[in-house]
Amino acid sequence: MPSTTKYKRVLLKLSGESLCGESEHGIKPEALSSIVAEIKKAFDQGVQLGIVVGGGNIWRGEQHRGEAIGRVTADYMGMLATIMNALALQDALEQLGVPTRVQTAVEINKLAESYIRRRSIRHLEKGRVVIFAGGTGNPYFTTDTAAALRAVEIEAEVLLKATKVDGVYSADPKKDKAAQKFETLTFMDSIQKRLKVMDATALTLCMENQLPVVVFDLAVKGNIARAVAGQKVGTLIVTE
């Protein structure tokens, strides 16, 4: 399929919370169906699409582990949650006729392929959406860092971070009416101003590899397709 997008290959970062809709936990079928319909709009434009999904709708280690579960174990449990979300995305996308592969950094051979960079690129070249699960496969790293890492590894041209707000603000716009939205930002400003776009490790990885990041509102219909087409949505974060 010929591409009608600005970018040939992109990495989309979805939060686990986006799959639970208005609920606090789990996967809400209506939310899942809405998201995959938006992903299909982007896919139908001919873009090569990788996806990294979080697991916060199922397990948030920092909040849920208490004193009984150690940090490392809690992080591995979070990786398993991302695999569950990836499998849900895969099934829902394939019901819409979108070919997919799930690759995981935590090996579960009966459910998904192990992450192999060259194989993932080959899948993308063959027109399959690749869903990357299991984070980086290591504790102490967020799924934002996993998204940055996978984006760099597959040589994506942009990282699209889907959020609940329409860009990056100087403060939480829900709490501070004076918060100002940034149309563009540099990675260094994001880090120094502690704007909580992504964690510092993820931002630094993108900055060092000159990988632009677009932060946008997932709830706005058509935003994923607009982002991959190069239209102005949300906030663009660049090296300089």
pLDDT by residue (tens digit) across 22-81?
888 999 999 999 999 999 999 999 999 999 999 999 998 777 788 889 999 999 999 999
Residue 53 is part of which domain span?
9-165+214-233
CB 155, CB 118: distance < 8 Å: no
Q: Which two tokens stand for residue 107?
A: 């090996």
How many domains, in total, are found in the chain? 1
Cα–Cα distance, 183 to 57 (Å, whole number): 29
Kindly report the number of other CB atoms within 10 A of residue 110's CB atom.
Answer: 4
Q: Is residue 88 part of a domain?
A: yes
Residue type at 202?
A
Q: Is residue 139 part of a domain?
A: yes
Cα–Cα distance, 155 to 135 (Å, whole number): 18
Q: Pick from 196, 164, 166, 165: which is nearest to 31 by CA?
A: 164
The per-residue pLDDT for 238 is 95
Q: Within 13 Å, how many C-alpha atoms sit on residue 104's CB side?
A: 24
Mean pLDDT, the chain, integer: 94
CB 132, CB 150: distance < 8 Å: yes
SS3 181: strand
What is the reported pTM? 0.94
Q: Is residue 52 part of a domain?
A: yes
Q: Is residue 207 part of a domain?
A: no
Q: What is the CATH number of the domain that holds 59?
A: 3.40.1160.10
Residue 130 has pLDDT above 70, yes or no: yes
pLDDT by residue (tens digit) across 132-185?
999 999 999 999 999 999 999 999 999 999 999 899 998 888 888 888 999 999
The per-residue pLDDT for 64 is 77
Indicate if the alpha-carbon torsion angle 92, 114, 15, 79 is positive or negative. positive
Give the mean model confidence (pLDDT) for residues 9-29: 94
Cα–Cα distance, 39 to 162 (Å, whole number): 11
Residue 1 has pLDDT above 60, yes or no: no
Residues 196, 26, 40, 8: what is their CA dihedral angle, to the nearest 10 degrees? 40
Interior angle at CA 142, CA 138 and CA 145, nearest 5: 95
The per-residue pLDDT for 2 is 56
pLDDT by residue (tens digit) across 199-209?
999 999 999 99
Q: Is residue 171 part of a domain?
A: no
